């Protein structure tokens, strides 16, 4: 591999115009296809086969022509009269009447949609339910109580709701023009103290990949790179390459929507990850190129050697990230699979850009590649094994008491991981949106006027096709299902809201006492599922619980159950890869154990920040269901990046005859500074994405930034060298029989020893 990359680097340097033309063709081709064939992205989180979706399928069978729960895209407007006033008073009633008339005419609503002022709809609904109850000989009081729970008007008359379903099956199919029309109608109605806010899936804004976040990350990265290289031109090269890679990745993800259902978070995730690794990979290669220029005046040869050494490490580092992301496919979760593949494709672009476009830029700039000096270059020479810098001082400090350092790091990470035991997972909803947003305000108003359970309804689909007898027997069976649900202590109300034409199916609305972000709501679902066999036996009907609340809980449970097998798959594959790279058993084992410590510590910190609201960065809410899995995949790949970049220098020194412990210090001398710079860049990029409003992207940004802090500075720069200094030569031990079985990979560039490779020989 080293020889191949040498040739690639030298050729890209010399033939830089061809490289530029090639990448331009790729960009135009991918961009053109994306513009012509791309489809809307998805905001739904679903996993085929979970109980809630099975119940939704049954609902579709029993009520043909109606969309099941997972395909309904709801819109909603919540209105609130000023304190001491009601919506029945003027001018508020007239304002809401005009609002209803305007929204009724909105694009993308089903033909013939008729909406009603909640002041008018509420008494009409109560009259209908009471009349139906009296016909069946049931108490009118119970009917009035049921009406209050599905009423669009609060008991005090101050808060009302106007609800509808859009004529689409994917929230991203709701056009921005439609949302703008509805928001304008809401804004026009908001006069005289009347509060009007929109909510529901169909009114969610599309996720911006984060231009502001990217700009912040790039500015911090530029500052770090200027300090690293001491050159304004050189500092700009990794950023320029990373931006090209991110642009290609984003275009690729957009183009892939023509073939796959891709979630809207995939673009932001790809952008975040692609920017971080793109800068880091170019940084490592450019640092090695600078070092090689000290030994030759042939810049093409120096670039070839830089790719043959640092480029090899970049390939394997990128491969570990790709393995971790593509392994999402093994979990059988379509949305997670598409997110992983999209991010992995962006990483592949980042690697290819670093290996080809960066050498081409160096070929274009030639002697001006390190122009714009702002300070003297103080990096240690490759042949210098005696100089002392900050990294060497750190390594020597660890060497004095490696066991103490290792124990301290393990203790710190163990303490940080404690909150993981109480972590509560959930999916985003209006109730967990950013405070001050329309979605969050609408959810808060609903909770204020109707109770928190209004935001977390569940639907019990009752299949009575096996019930014998006529309509009365079917209704009796459905009544037993209502009684079953209503007796749970966390159920505020349960009632039949729909029966199909032949009475073979019914829908029971279950309103919890707690909201969608409350663990008690998830516990309620588990209790209902646990007692389902009993009510099915007593009623003779089949029962399934669905609705957005149940679907979100099922997705969370499925993801939680997938964590352990996913971790085993990723760690196993990457461990094998690292054994091949380092020809050692202990170093890969140490790398993976260190990762487990850092990721558990980061998850613990994230749980405190998100779930407990520590420091006020988040309002207390469940940790996003996808976050632990995404975090494990991404952080494992990035942790192995630092392991590869740092340890290859240690092994390189050891292979060339240096003692094992001295090689650890020498690895620090030549790569510690660059690894720290890379980590700081990665942290700044991830932390910048924590400014996003989207709950998943914000929490993922915080979690990843925390994980890189712990992994880069505690595990890779302290724990790993401490253990390697303790064990000495044993760090590089491998059974001879295994060494013979494994393929030989020249990551350190042993085939490129100085003077052994000349340009003509590889021409």
Q: In angstroms, what CA-CA distances link 630 with 142, 386, 763?
A: 47, 42, 44
H or E stretch at 77: strand 74-80
Question: What is the distance between the alpha carbons of residues 251 and 546, in angstroms, rounded to a whole number?
Answer: 36
> Which residues partner with 507 through β-bridges?
461, 498
User: Which SS3 state, helix, strand or coil, does residue 459 take?
Assistant: strand
CA atoms within 13 A of residue 137's CA, in its CB half-sphere = 1
Question: What is the distance between the alpha carbons of residues 292 and 1, in angstroms, rounded to a whole number?
Answer: 19
Question: Which are the contacts of 404, defined by CB distance < 8 A and separation ≥ 6?
Answer: none
H or E stretch at 7: helix 2-14
Residues 579/588, Cβ–Cβ less than 8 Å = yes
Question: What is the distance between the alpha carbons of residues 409 and 144, in angstroms, rounded to a whole number?
Answer: 62
Question: What is the distance between the alpha carbons of residues 574 and 339, in angstroms, rounded to a whole number?
Answer: 20
H-type alpha helices, 487-547 = 519-530, 532-539
Cβ density class 608-618: b for 16+ within 10 Å, e for less: bbbbeeeeeeb
- pLDDT (tens digit per residue) in 220-271: 888 888 888 888 898 899 989 988 988 888 888 888 877 777 776 677 778 7
Q: Which pLDDT score is estimated for 122?
A: 94
Residues 696/265, Cβ–Cβ less than 8 Å = yes
Residues 78/572, Cβ–Cβ less than 8 Å = no
* Parallel, antiparallel or unpaired: strands 505-512 and 491-499: antiparallel
281: number of Cβ within 10 Å? 32
Q: Which pLDDT score is estimated for 760?
A: 46
Question: What is the distance between the alpha carbons of residues 342 and 253, in angstroms, rounded to a whole number?
Answer: 6
Q: Which pLDDT score is estimated for 211?
A: 57
4: left (phi over 0), alpha (psi -120 to 50) or beta: alpha
H-type alpha helices, 353-470 = 358-365, 390-400, 402-417, 438-450
63: left (phi over 0), alpha (psi -120 to 50) or beta: beta
Question: What is the distance between the alpha carbons of residues 757 and 438, in angstroms, rounded to a whole number?
Answer: 64
Residues 639/711, Cβ–Cβ less than 8 Å = yes
The dihedrals phi and psi of 624, each to the nearest 5 degrees, come to -55, 135
User: Which SS3 state, helix, strand or coil, does residue 495 take?
Assistant: strand
> Which residues partner with 77 through β-bridges?
162, 198
Which residue positions in the chain have pLDDT lower than 50? Answer: 754-756, 760-763
Question: What is the distance between the alpha carbons of residues 710 and 595, in angstroms, rounded to a whole number?
Answer: 9
Residue 209 DSSP symbol: -
In DSSP notation, 686-709 reads HHHHTT-SSHHHHHHHHHHHHHHI
Question: Which are the contacts of 77, defined by CB distance < 8 A and separation ≥ 6?
Answer: 99, 103, 161, 162, 163, 182, 186, 196, 197, 198, 199, 442
Q: Dmax over Cα atoms in the chain, in whole Å? A: 100
Question: Which are the contacts of 539, defined by CB distance < 8 A and separation ≥ 6?
Answer: 462, 467, 477, 478, 480, 481, 484
Question: What is the distance between the alpha carbons of residues 76 and 439, in angstroms, rounded to a whole number?
Answer: 10
CATH fold of 47-65+458-546 reads: Alpha-Beta Plaits (3.30.70)
User: Which SS3 state, helix, strand or coil, does residue 624 take?
Assistant: strand
Q: Which pLDDT score is estimated for 300?
A: 92
Residues 759/10, Cβ–Cβ less than 8 Å = yes
Residues 128/116, Cβ–Cβ less than 8 Å = no
Residues 263/335, Cβ–Cβ less than 8 Å = yes
Smallest CA-to-CA distance from 59 within 44, 69, 49, 50 is with 69
Question: What is the distance between the alpha carbons of residues 74 and 109, in angstroms, rounded to a whole number?
Answer: 10
Question: What is the distance between the alpha carbons of residues 741 and 749, in angstroms, rounded to a whole number?
Answer: 21
> Which residues partner with 153 through β-bridges?
160
CA atoms within 13 A of residue 16's CA, in its CB half-sphere = 14
The CA angle 240-241-244, to the nearest 5 degrees, is 90
Distance of CA 8 to the CA centre of its chain: 34
Question: What is the distance between the alpha carbons of residues 670 and 651, in angstroms, rounded to a whole number?
Answer: 12
Q: Which pLDDT score is estimated for 545?
A: 95
Residues 250/271, Cβ–Cβ less than 8 Å = yes
Question: What is the distance between the alpha carbons of residues 337 and 559, in angstroms, rounded to a whole number?
Answer: 12
Question: What is the distance between the alpha carbons of residues 732 and 654, in angstroms, rounded to a whole number?
Answer: 9
User: Which SS3 state, helix, strand or coil, does residue 418 take?
Assistant: helix
Question: What is the distance between the alpha carbons of residues 623 and 246, in angstroms, rounded to a whole number?
Answer: 27
Question: What is the distance between the alpha carbons of residues 597 and 604, in angstroms, rounded to a whole number?
Answer: 11
Residues 723/590, Cβ–Cβ less than 8 Å = yes
Q: Which pLDDT score is estimated for 761?
A: 44
> Which residues partner with 165 through β-bridges?
74
Smallest CA-to-CA distance from 271 within 353, 343, 338, 220 is with 343
Residue 460 DSSP symbol: E
H or E stretch at 622: none
Residues 398/725, Cβ–Cβ less than 8 Å = yes
Radius of gyration of the chain (CA): 30
* Parallel, antiparallel or unpaired: strands 623-624 and 425-426: parallel
Question: Which are the contacts of 158, defined by CB distance < 8 A and separation ≥ 6?
Answer: 80, 81, 83, 85, 86, 87, 449
Question: What is the distance between the alpha carbons of residues 5 and 315, in angstroms, rounded to a whole number?
Answer: 10
Smallest CA-to-CA distance from 354 within 283, 251, 301 is with 283
List the chain domain ranges. 2-40+207-427+553-762, 47-65+458-546, 72-205
């Amino acid at each position: 591999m080293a020889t191949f990359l040498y040739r690639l680097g030298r050729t890209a340097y010399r033939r830089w115009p061809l490289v530029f033309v090639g990448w331009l063709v790729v960009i135009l081709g991918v961009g053109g296809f994306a513009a012509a064939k791309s489809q809307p992205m998805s905001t739904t989180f679903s996993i085929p086969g979970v109980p809630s979706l099975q119940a939704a399928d049954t609902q579709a069978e029993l009520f043909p022509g109606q969309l099941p729960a997972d395909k309904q895209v709801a819109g909603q407007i919540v209105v609130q009269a000023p304190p001491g006033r009601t919506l029945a008073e003027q001018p508020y009633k007239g304002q809401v009447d005009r609002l209803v008339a305007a929204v009724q005419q909105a694009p993308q609503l089903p033909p013939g949609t008729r909406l009603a002022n909640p002041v008018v709809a509420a008494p009409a609904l109560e009259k209908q339910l009471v009349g139906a109850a009296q016909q069946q000989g049931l108490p009118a009081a119970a009917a009035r109580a049921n009406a209050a729970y599905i009423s669009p008007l609060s008991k005090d008359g101050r808060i009302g709701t106007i609800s509808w379903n859009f004529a689409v099956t994917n929230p991203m199919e709701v056009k921005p023009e439609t949302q703008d029309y509805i928001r304008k109608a809401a804004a026009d109605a908001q006069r005289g103290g009347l509060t009007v806010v929109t909510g529901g899936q169909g009114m969610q804004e599309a996720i911006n990949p984060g231009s502001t976040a990217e700009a912040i990350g790039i500015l911090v990265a530029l500052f770090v790179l200027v300090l690293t290289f001491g050159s304004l031109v050189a500092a700009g090269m990794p950023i320029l390459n990373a931006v090209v890679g991110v642009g290609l990745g984003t275009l690729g993800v957009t183009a892939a929507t023509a073939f796959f259902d891709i979630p809207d978070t995939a673009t932001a995730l790809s952008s975040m990850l692609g920017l971080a690794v793109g800068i880091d990979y170019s940084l490592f290669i450019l640092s090695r190129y600078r070092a090689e220029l000290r030994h030759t005046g042939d810049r093409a040869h120096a670039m070839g050697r830089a790719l043959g050494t640092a480029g090899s490490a970049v390939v394997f580092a990128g491969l570990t990230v790709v393995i971790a992301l593509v392994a999402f496919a093994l979990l059988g979760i379509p949305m997670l699979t598409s997110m992983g593949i999209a991010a992995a494709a962006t990483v592949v672009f980042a690697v290819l850009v670093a290996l080809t476009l960066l050498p081409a830029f160096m070929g274009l700039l030639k002697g001006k590649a390190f122009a714009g000096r702002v300070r003297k270059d103080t990096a240690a020479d490759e042949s210098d094994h005696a100089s002392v810098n900050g990294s060497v001082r750190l390594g020597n400090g660890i060497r004095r008491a490696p066991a103490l350092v290792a124990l301290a790091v393990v203790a710190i990470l163990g303490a940080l991981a404690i909150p993981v035991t109480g972590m509560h997972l959930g999916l985003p909803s209006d109730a967990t949106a950013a405070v001050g947003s329309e979605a969050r305000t609408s959810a808060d108003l609903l909770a204020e006027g109707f109770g928190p359970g209004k935001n977390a309804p569940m639907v019990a689909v009752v299949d009575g096709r096996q019930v014998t007898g006529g309509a009365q027997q079917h209704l009796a069976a459905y009544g037993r299902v209502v009684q079953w649900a209503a007796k749970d202590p966390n159920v505020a109300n349960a009632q039949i809201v729909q029966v199909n034409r032949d009475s073979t199916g019914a829908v029971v609305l279950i309103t919890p006492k707690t909201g969608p972000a409350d663990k008690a709501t998830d516990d309620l679902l588990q209790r209902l599922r646990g007692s389902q066999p009993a009510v099915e036996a007593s009623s003779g009907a089949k029962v399934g619980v669905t609705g957005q609340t149940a679907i979100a809980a099922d997705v969370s449970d499925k993801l939680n159950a997938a964590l352990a097998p996913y971790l085993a798959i990723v760690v196993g594959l990457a461990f094998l890869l690292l054994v091949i790279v380092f020809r050692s058993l202990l170093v890969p084992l140490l790398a993976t154990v260190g990762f487990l410590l850092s990721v558990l510590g980061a998850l613990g910190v994230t749980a405190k920040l998100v779930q407990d609201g520590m420091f006020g960065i988040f309002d207390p809410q469940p940790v996003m269901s996808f976050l632990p899995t995404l975090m494990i995949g991404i952080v494992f790949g990035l942790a192995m990046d630092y392991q590869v970049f740092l340890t290859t220098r240690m092994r390189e020194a050891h292979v060339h005859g240096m003692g094992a412990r001295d090689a650890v210090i020498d690895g620090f001398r030549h790569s510690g500074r660059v690894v720290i710079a890379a980590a700081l860049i990665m942290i700044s990029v991830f932390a910048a994405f924590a400014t996003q409003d989207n709950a998943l992207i914000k929490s993922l940004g915080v979690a990843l930034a925390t994980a890189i802090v712990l992994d880069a500075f505690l595990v890779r720069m302290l724990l790993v060298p401490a253990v390697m200094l303790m064990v000495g030569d044993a760090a590089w031990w491998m059974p001879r029989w295994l060494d013979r079985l494994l393929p030989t990979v020249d990551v350190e560039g042993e085939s490129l020893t100085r003077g052994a490779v000349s340009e003509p020989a590889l021409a």
